[in-house]
Structure 1
């Protein structure tokens, strides 16, 4: 997936109010940009970090520029969570995500209860598969971690996935890792112990737990390969 054609690199001054960031450009100009990430952005929001921003062609937007990625220790990290489902959809369509077998159709944004929608319903040769995709931007101790903040919504999605499983229907949670480092994926037990415990519970009930890595650079973001799941560890 290529980023919007109008892009600039800059330096992060600060991220604040969850959805705003101030950026300094090379010529000294300072911009306030939209930060499309509701998480804590642990490890990818330090002042002074290099960033890439893109310009929207929507004239009605209050902030024309969007924060797309942040560099930490030389690694570009995709922080625009609005791209996650597009990246996963692209990888499913192109066969990069092959864990579900041949896919006949992909239906996005499927309502499964009064409170919840899940990201995808796949029709496969093996039957229907519900998939919820989550963006991962945090790496600690060589492991990719999710979430980076407590997520009651994410925990609810896990319960919904488990509820939908039957003899014909499968369900999966897929973690999209938008950075090149991190040797394996683990739930962030220290940050959200309930989410970590629920993930382990629904995995025992048959929910697939998958992680896939995207290459991230100032020109494009693209899912390329699977990431193994870390062995269980109490301090995760």
Structure 2
């Protein structure tokens, strides 16, 4: 996925109220922008960090700038949680994600489960539909190891249970963890921050839900598929 226009670099002053951030542009101007990530963003909000922002001229937007990338320890990290579905969709179309290749149809945001919408529904005349849920990952505490989630997520656990229901209904269900950073060689479930999500993950795998972790290559020009990385969890 290429950014539609060049990103603007700046220095992060602070991120606050989940939706907002202040930054200093390279010309010394201070701006307030929107943060398209409502999660904790652990380890990604240190004042003084180099950031990249998209700019929007729409009169309906309150803030012109939106946070897209943060540099941490020399690694560029994607923080926009609105992009993973698009990145995974493009990767599927390109045939880059082998386990999800070969389907003739792809639909987005289809209703399923209990008042939920699946991120991507893959269809084909020769096999059952594949329900694909996508989660954004950017949390790291140990070298080479990505972790999800970075804070408790009841909604995430609910999605895992609903994917299990799809499998028991004769469909295929796949959880894709999109790692928006390039310094991770593996992924694991962060059970100490959300034990309930860990239990939901175990239930889902036992019911036949598949799990994939996709690492991204990230620059201020684009975010694209790099490769699949292993998930360090029992049963995988």
Common topology (TM > 0.5): yes
How much does 1:184 deviate?
Answer: 0.5
Separation of aligned partners in 2, 1:57 and 1:226: 36
Q: In structure 2, how many angstroms separate the alpha carbons of the residues matched to 1:99 and 1:140?
A: 28
Aligned residues of 2:41 and 2:139 also touching (Cα < 8 A):
yes
CA drift at 1:6: 4.0
Q: Residue in 1 aligned with 2:132?
A: 131
Distance 1:137 1:196, change over 3 A: same
Task: Output aligned runs, 1:161-172, within 5 Å.
Answer: 161-166=163-168, 168-172=170-174
Post-superposition CA distance 1:179-222 (Å, at most 9, x none): 00122011111111110111012111100011101111111111
Q: Report the counterpart of residue 59 of structure 1 in structure 2.
A: 59
Task: Find the aligned partners of 2:47 and 2:83 in 1 and give their Cα distance.
Answer: 23
Gaps of 5+ in 1: none
Task: Note the residue ranges of structure 2 that are not aligned, 5 or more in a row.
Answer: none
1:198 to 190, 197, 200: 200
Counterpart in 2 of 1:12? 12
CA deviation map 1:63-88 (0-9, x unaligned): 01110010000000000011111101
- Match of 1:183, SS? strand
Residue aligning to 1:24: 24
Aligned residues of 2:133 and 2:174 also touching (Cα < 8 A): yes
What residue number does 2:48 align with? Answer: 48
Equivalent residue for 1:89? 89
Partner of 2:18, secondary structure, is coil
Indicate the residue corresponding to 2:224 in structure 1.
Answer: 222
Q: CA deviation at 1:101?
A: 3.9
TM-score of the aligned structures, taking structure 2 as reference length: 0.94
- Residues 126-155 of structure 1: per-residue CA shift (max 9 Å, x gap): 321001000001112131111111101111
* 1:34-59 CA distance string (max 9 Å, x none): 10001100111111110000102322
CA distance in 2, matches of 1:94, 1:152: 32
Q: What is the DSSP-based 3-state SS (H/G/I as helix, E as strand, rest coil) of the residue aligned with 2:83?
A: helix
Residues 101-135 of structure 1 deviation map (CA, whole Å, 9 limit, x = unaligned): 41111110011134211101101443210010000
The 3 A distance-change label for structure 1 pair 202 and 31 is same
Q: Calculate the aligned-residue CA RMSD, in Å.
A: 1.3
